[in-house]
Copies of this chain bind each other. A is one copy, B any other.
Amino acid sequence: MAVSTHTFQAPKGTRDFYPDDMAVRRYLESVWRRVSVNHGFDEIDGPTFEHLDLYTVKSGPEIVSELFSFRRAGGDTDYALRPEFTPTLARMYAARANALPRPTNWFSICSFFRAERPQRGRLREHFQWNLDVIGEDYPRADARIIAAAVDVLDRLGLTPGDVQITLNHREDLEAMLSHYGFDGSRLVEAIALVDAVSKLPADEFRRRALDLGLDAGRWDEFAGALACRQHAAQGCSMEHLQPLHEKLEEFGVLPWCTYAPSLARGLAYYTGTVFEVHEVSGTERAVAGGGRYDNLVELFGGPPTPAVGIAMGDVVIRLLLKDKGLLEPARDFRPRPDVFLICSGKEVAEQRFESLLASLRRADLHVRHSSRSTRNVGKLLGEAARVRARCAVILGDELEQGHVVVKDLDTGEQSDAVPVDGLADRLKKDLAGAAGSP
């Protein structure tokens, strides 16, 4: 059969995760999951593909070109690979709104898809953490989302000097736009324009702003207001953000926050707070983003329900962590073996090797061994150290007396006559003890 050369490669914009890469992905997921659980959120998931309508309801028919959509052969239903989680979340909440607690605290970690041209920081398939509070009002729920995001950044080894969460409130933004003369009936357009400020040439931006009503004599002042940033530790001068500021102070996360009167976020459905996480130099894309969306659950068939959420993809945060040296060496993110089993003897040791290996694993120990045929204990201990095994168990001639050698690879301590009977229990006890010590 004729096969194109591309067949044996991953599709453009997708990734193969070999073990080192996969270990880093699991590390990231484990931080997301642990923080979510600690903060009182429950994990959910939906299907990888949804009815296409679910996305056009929220975003209009223009979304279709950005989606991977398909039908079953001979079927008449259009599906799409999910590009984001919010429609699934709103649908699931709406379906059980009456039975769910208030607030409902949900998180999810799953794959999302975009049919766009792949570029730095943006792939066709990526993994994303979603964290949402449904049924709790501003500002407490918003502050809880920010506090959990801070906890994630902190655990990943980042500091407020590396990343900042920029915040704004749609009502503060609208008040500012009105203040500078923007047409109150075209605020959605004005917000979209502000969102695009960094992507447009300055004169093009100015022309469009004037067209939307900006008072021409106040252009300089308006441009200055857009560029303004206020670090949260220095207080909050924005009226609608003030209540959130007080909660963020109570939660102890002000050092991580910056107020940005121009932060817009393009999506039309945000109704209050909006926020983004950026590397402080601002050179990469946003690490995470979110906001309050009080009208969305209703749009998906549920009762009127306030809600706020954040999403963090795996692509930009990995670039950032790598850049900061926080993912090196990748090998260290793999699970540490409890035991590295070494055969240094002949006959008895060889005969017992496989059954001892099997019995240690059945006892819930993570056991590795060399795939090389060498009997050089020094070389094999070197291999054990490279995979970061916690201890080595050496089967030598002592096995004839029913003994093995156990070497603690963290402390270097060696026990030369450990009974092979009850070995698994003994190792588990030693390892549990060591885990508790510094």
A binding-site residues for B, Cβ under 8 Å: 1, 3-4, 6-12, 14-19, 22-23, 25-26, 34, 37-40, 42-51, 53-54, 56-57, 64-65, 68-70, 72-73, 77, 79, 81, 88, 91-92, 94-96, 101-103, 106, 111, 113, 115, 125, 147, 151, 154, 247, 250-253, 300-301, 334-335, 354-355, 358-359, 361-362, 364-369, 371, 432, 436
Contact A68 B64 (CB under 8 A): no
Contact B151 A362 (CB under 8 A): yes
How many Å lie between the Cα of A103 and that of B370 in the bound state?
Answer: 10
How many Å lie between the Cα of A113 and that of B79 in the bound state?
Answer: 13
Minimum Cβ distance to chain B for residue A337 (Å): 8
Chain B residues closer than 8 Å to A15, beta-carbon distance = 47
Of A8, A96, A364, A436, most buried by chain B (CB within 10 Å of CB) is A8
Partner of A10, one of B6, B42, B47, B301: B47
How many Å lie between the Cα of A103 and that of B368 in the bound state?
Answer: 13
- Give me 18 other A-B pairs in contact (C-beta within 8 A), A23-B43, A68-B79, A147-B358 excluded: A6-B51, A8-B301, A11-B47, A11-B51, A16-B46, A16-B47, A16-B88, A17-B46, A18-B92, A19-B43, A22-B44, A40-B366, A48-B81, A49-B113, A102-B371, A151-B362, A252-B359, A253-B358
- If A42-B19, A53-B7, A301-B8 touch, whether A250 touches B358 (CB-CB below 8 Å) is yes
Contact A361 B38 (CB under 8 A): yes
How many Å lie between the Cα of A17 and that of B16 in the bound state?
Answer: 26
8 smallest beta-carbon distances between A and B, as pairs: A70-B70, A14-B47, A19-B42, A7-B53, A251-B358, A17-B45, A72-B115, A38-B366
Partner of A40, one of B47, B94, B369: B369
How many Å lie between the Cα of A364 and that of B33 in the bound state?
Answer: 12
Chain B residues closer than 8 Å to A53, beta-carbon distance = 3-4, 7
- If A73-B65, A94-B8 touch, whether A26 touches B43 (CB-CB below 8 Å) is yes
Contact A8 B300 (CB under 8 A): yes
Residue of B nearest to A110 (CB): B111
Chain B residues closer than 8 Å to A72, beta-carbon distance = 68, 115
Contact B92 A16 (CB under 8 A): yes
Minimum Cβ distance to chain B for residue A405 (Å): 21
Contact B68 A68 (CB under 8 A): no
Contact B46 A10 (CB under 8 A): yes
Contact A38 B367 (CB under 8 A): yes
Chain B residues closer than 8 Å to A1, beta-carbon distance = 56-57
- If A11-B50, A250-B354, A252-B362 touch, whether A18 touches B111 (CB-CB below 8 Å) is no
Chain B residues closer than 8 Å to A154, beta-carbon distance = 362
Chain B residues closer than 8 Å to A300, beta-carbon distance = 8
Contact B368 A40 (CB under 8 A): yes
Residue of B nearest to A4 (CB): B53
How many Å lie between the Cα of A56 and that of B368 in the bound state?
Answer: 37
How many Å lie between the Cα of A115 and that of B73 in the bound state?
Answer: 8
Chain B residues closer than 8 Å to A102, beta-carbon distance = 371
Chain B residues closer than 8 Å to A10, beta-carbon distance = 46-47, 50
Residue of B nearest to A45 (CB): B17
How many Å lie between the Cα of A6 and that of B6 in the bound state?
Answer: 37
- If A57-B1, A115-B72, A354-B251 touch, whether A7 touches B42 (CB-CB below 8 Å) is no
Contact B355 A7 (CB under 8 A): no
Contact A335 B37 (CB under 8 A): yes
Contact A96 B18 (CB under 8 A): yes
Minimum Cβ distance to chain B for residue A6 (Å): 6
Chain B residues closer than 8 Å to A147, beta-carbon distance = 358, 361
Chain B residues closer than 8 Å to A56, beta-carbon distance = 1
How many Å lie between the Cα of A26 and that of B44 in the bound state?
Answer: 10
How many Å lie between the Cα of A70 and that of B70 in the bound state?
Answer: 5
Minimum Cβ distance to chain B for residue A28 (Å): 13
